[in-house]
Amino acid sequence: MTKKLGIADYPLAETQPEKVIGARGLALPDVTLAAVIKGDVTMEDLRITPQALRAQADIAQAANRGTLAQNFERAAELVNVPQDFIMATYELLRPGRAKSKDALLEAARILRETYHATDMATYVEEAAEVYERRGLFTFRF
Amino acid sequence: MSTTPNRWKRFADWDERPLRLDKFAVEDAANGFAAFTSPADPKPGIGINASRVISLDGVLEHEFDMIDLFIARHHIDPDIAPEAMAIPSSTLARMLVDMHVPRQELVRLAHGLTPAKLAETVSQLNALEIAFAYQKMRARKIPGNQAHVTNAKDDPLQLAADAATAVGFGFDEIETTMRVSRNAWSNALACAVGGAVGRWGTLFQCSSEEAEELRIGMAGFTSYAETVSVYGTEKTFIDGDDTPWSKGFLAAAYASRGIKMRCTSGAGSELLMGFHESKSLLYLEARCLCLQRAMGVQGTQNGGIDGAPVTATVPGGVRELMAENLIAVWLDLECASGNDARTTESEIRLGAKIWPYLVGGSDLICSGFGSILKYDNSFNPSLFNGEEMEDYLVLQRDFEADGGLTPISESTALDLRARAIEALSAVQEELGLATPTADMKQSVVVASGSDDTRSFSPRETSVMSEKIKSQGITVVDVIKALAKRGFADEAENLLSVVRLRLSGDYLQTAALVRGGKVLSAINNPNDYLGPGSGYRLSPERREEIVNIRDVLDQKEVLRSEAMHEKEEAKRIRYARVKQADVSQDSKDVVIGISPGFGLKLFQTTAGHRLSDVLLELVTAISARGLTPRIVRFNHTADTSFLGLSAAGLSGSGVGIGIQAKGTAIIHQRGRLPHNNLELFSNAPITKLVHYRGMGANAAAYALGEMPEPIIVPQHGEAMGSRYHARTAMIYAIETALTSESAVPEEIAIEFLGRRA
């Protein structure tokens, strides 16, 4: 899925099911009940991929939904970020959890350097800046 | 001395109405009780410098709170804002209701509109205009609906059965939550299995603590989330323990797990949480909705939600709920349009609340229609609940409107429930979670609510739930268990829902699954441009909607009459004697019967045998020493003319006219047709004692007396709604038997098997 997709490509599961490929290489038409029963399908094969999210971002953009497209782009960056780190970052973004800007900037650095989640990192950095301005680093409980 | 209180008793009557349980609040903008406008609301405005928003609704950039800031950076399109903000809000308001202005154009402009401008614009529309604009602006063409599936015991067997019935009724989404939070995993598994019975495609969410909800989603049990709340003031947001950035992060996290998500916001939340800044409900909501578009979520659960009841206490509050939904769809968000919290105890207010959504459609008309009984709703009672499901189905039929639901038969419902319970039991056994007994299962199959069940206790469910979580059971394990135990269809259905997340098609705006295909604002966009466009009922869909249970047709009426024919043959015999003439005997009173009386029709609408009715009349007339004569008229079936014709043949000049359905009249020769002596128009509540009184009074008039008229007491029954369908069909049977030139027949009647 290299070329930009448009509205006519939607839904991908109908227009190009063979190109919808899971994390371990299993294509959509191969995810069958028989394969599940044989044990050939795991939860890993049922996860969305960054490629699929970027394809959906293209489609959203083509439908003039820029902010939705950006969310899909950020989501694509998070696909391979471990759940624990996602939950820890979410927790840090809640009011009063981080005691200073530094904790958020550190999370942003890890997102950028370890997971190549550049948009998400920028987003967390923006939060750090705003939280400082609005005094959200105060202790809450 | 009178002790009568000096009060019009009507107020005491009104005190007893359910409406008086609703409490209303005085409009008080300073304290947050103002629906559309408040002196504290800012005037719309925007400042842009080099593609950067430097002021928003009168607030300069350096004074932005975090909500202003998020909206300024992520919602406002600086290329569009100057153009859009320059359009007067009165013009924008007219564009919203102008069917020639396409939705896309208004959506494009919304990218450059500030919260105050959006609020100022929709404020200018009256309720009907809001409803019309909503119909035009909502994102997806085909309307949908969502159900709550919960119960007071967190009983998984009942959840599975109720999920299956909800799917059977056609809900596109089902949402569960728990009484006991650790039961989340069991609830999720039960609804996932129940929701896979019958067809595939119903999306499912398990509303629980944020981190837990995401984990349950990752285990594959759920397919969407909607309890990510946002608020319109900074302090409320912080008290809600989040910020726009934390919620926006969560939005990306859900999408990264292939789970559909919408946010939640609604009027009144800031008021309930104490930080309303004296702003109007609508303005605060406009901020929430701009935030949601800014975060990049595809949709919103919007329209009061938990704050709907308090919003409905304010003047214009219900109109405000409609207005905020309109802003949501104008901002191109999928709208699960509230209609969930029970805003009133008045069924009239309730029906009025749902009407615009039912008729105009919505992406999800209710963001939780209580498919279960009120007491089983763990979210609190919904606007509509299991109790009122059929009222809703009939509203669809009345207005030929697609409310997203389809009537199902009793046997279908029972089959779905039994199947779901067997499927879940099999999974529980296979996974070593529990072994439900036959008695448990049977009690749930037939249960209307959890009071009727003998099933798992909340504690037993907790043990199960902990096991599901600690053993890392996923939807793949459940699919395998279903397949192993012979539930191949359910296994396939459940797999199909989980497979949705591979392509992510259902993450697009307003996506649902119909007939195995994803439909969203991308491939099923609302294209309303006036009559004949937008969503229309297909003939097939109309057929589904009108097909409610227990409808009458003429065949059914005749079948029911035929059952009584044999009975009546044993009680009375009618014999035609000759053509009836005018009598000279001043002692006779003619009883004029209708063409089908005792021939095709055998009971009154009150259910009295016609033989019994005639016996009462004859006995009462005879008791005064007069002679009752029975005459059948075939030229008319109308009560007035039956009565007047009877009086015309009567020697006393007084006659009774009676139709087979029991409607009767006492008439007198020489009067105008509709100026009778006494009319008995409410046949369904006319008892035998009234027919006896009618005979007695007819006799009294014949003797020149002036009796007390017989009053058939009625208690405000909706006589028309109860009886008119049957009455019209019966009457049609009678009128079909008339012929204009037919002569009256003198009838000899004989009461059989008893003493007359």
Mean pLDDT of chain A: 95
Which one of A12, A37, A87 has the shortest CB-CB distance to B211? A87
Last residue of a domain, one of A25, A45, A79: A79
- Which DSSP symbol is given to A19? G
What pLDDT score does B756 carry? Answer: 42
Q: Is the pLDDT of residue A1 over 50?
A: no
Beta-carbon separation of B256 and A67 below 8 A: no
Q: Is the ipTM of this complex over 0.90?
A: yes
Contacts with A10 from chain B: Cβ below 8 Å: 505, 508, 520, 522-523
Chain B 185-244, CB below 8 Å of chain A: which residues? 210-211, 214-215, 218-220, 234, 237-238, 241-243
CA distance B196 to B691: 59
Residues A96 and A75 in one domain: no
- CATH 3.40.50.10150 residue ranges of chain B are 554-751
CA distance B670 to B57: 80
Q: Tell the burial category of B516 from Cβ atoms under 10 Å away from its Cβ (0-12, 13-18, 19+).
A: exposed
Beta-carbon separation of A72 and B507 below 8 A: yes
User: Which domain range does residue A140 map to?
Assistant: 81-141
Query: Catalytic: which of B162, B226, B638, B734?
Result: B226
Q: Is the pLDDT of residue A134 over 60?
A: yes
What is the number of domains present in chain A? Answer: 2
List strand residue ranges (DSSP E) for B584-673, in order: 588-593, 627-632, 654-658, 664-668
* Mean pLDDT of each 10-residue bin along chain B, 756 residues long: 80 97 97 97 98 98 97 98 98 98 98 98 98 98 98 98 98 97 97 97 94 93 94 95 96 96 96 95 98 98 95 98 98 98 97 98 97 97 97 98 98 98 98 98 98 96 98 98 98 98 97 97 98 97 96 89 93 97 96 97 96 98 98 97 98 98 97 95 96 98 98 90 92 94 96 71
Beta-carbon separation of A10 and B66 below 8 A: no
Last residue of a domain, one of A32, A60, A79: A79
What pLDDT score does B280 carry? Answer: 98
What pLDDT score does A139 carry? Answer: 63
Beta-carbon separation of A67 and B498 below 8 A: no
Question: Is B148 annotated in the active site?
Answer: yes
Q: What six digits make up the tokens of B659?
A: 């139709």
Does B496 lie at the interface with A, CB-CB under 8 angstroms?
Answer: no
- CATH 3.20.20.350 residue ranges of chain B are 23-137+223-338, 142-222+364-493
Last residue of a domain, one of A64, A79, A94: A79
Residues A57 and A121 in one domain: no
Residues A40 and A100 in one domain: no
Residues A1 and A23 in one domain: yes
CATH code at B554-751: 3.40.50.10150
Which one of B220, B250, B332 has the shortest CB-CB distance to A90? B250
Q: What six digits make up the tokens of B475?
A: 């939807």
CA distance B255 to B249: 10
Residues A40 and A70 in one domain: yes
Contacts with A124 from chain B: Cβ below 8 Å: 245, 249
Cis check for the bond before B156: say yes or no (omega within 30 of 0). no
CA distance A70 to A132: 25
Q: Is the pLDDT of residue A18 over 60?
A: yes
CATH code at B23-137+223-338: 3.20.20.350
CA distance A10 to A8: 5
Q: What is the side-by-side order of every strand in the sheet holding B59-60? A: B46-49, B52-56, B59-60
Measured between CA atoms, how close is B139 to chain A, in angstroms?
12
Residues A42 and A26 in one domain: yes
Beta-carbon separation of B504 and A124 below 8 A: no
CATH code at B142-222+364-493: 3.20.20.350
Measured between CA atoms, how close is A25 to chain B, in angstroms?
12
Residues A67 and A85 in one domain: no
CA distance A55 to A75: 12
Beta-carbon separation of A13 and B243 below 8 A: no
Residue of A nearest to B104 (CA): A64
Residues A70 and A91 in one domain: no
What pLDDT score does B210 carry? Answer: 84
CB burial of B196-222 (b: ≥16 within 10 Å; e: otherwise) equals bbbbbbbbbbbbbebebbbbbbbbbbb
Beta-carbon separation of A90 and B246 below 8 A: yes
Question: Is B367 annotated in the active site?
Answer: yes
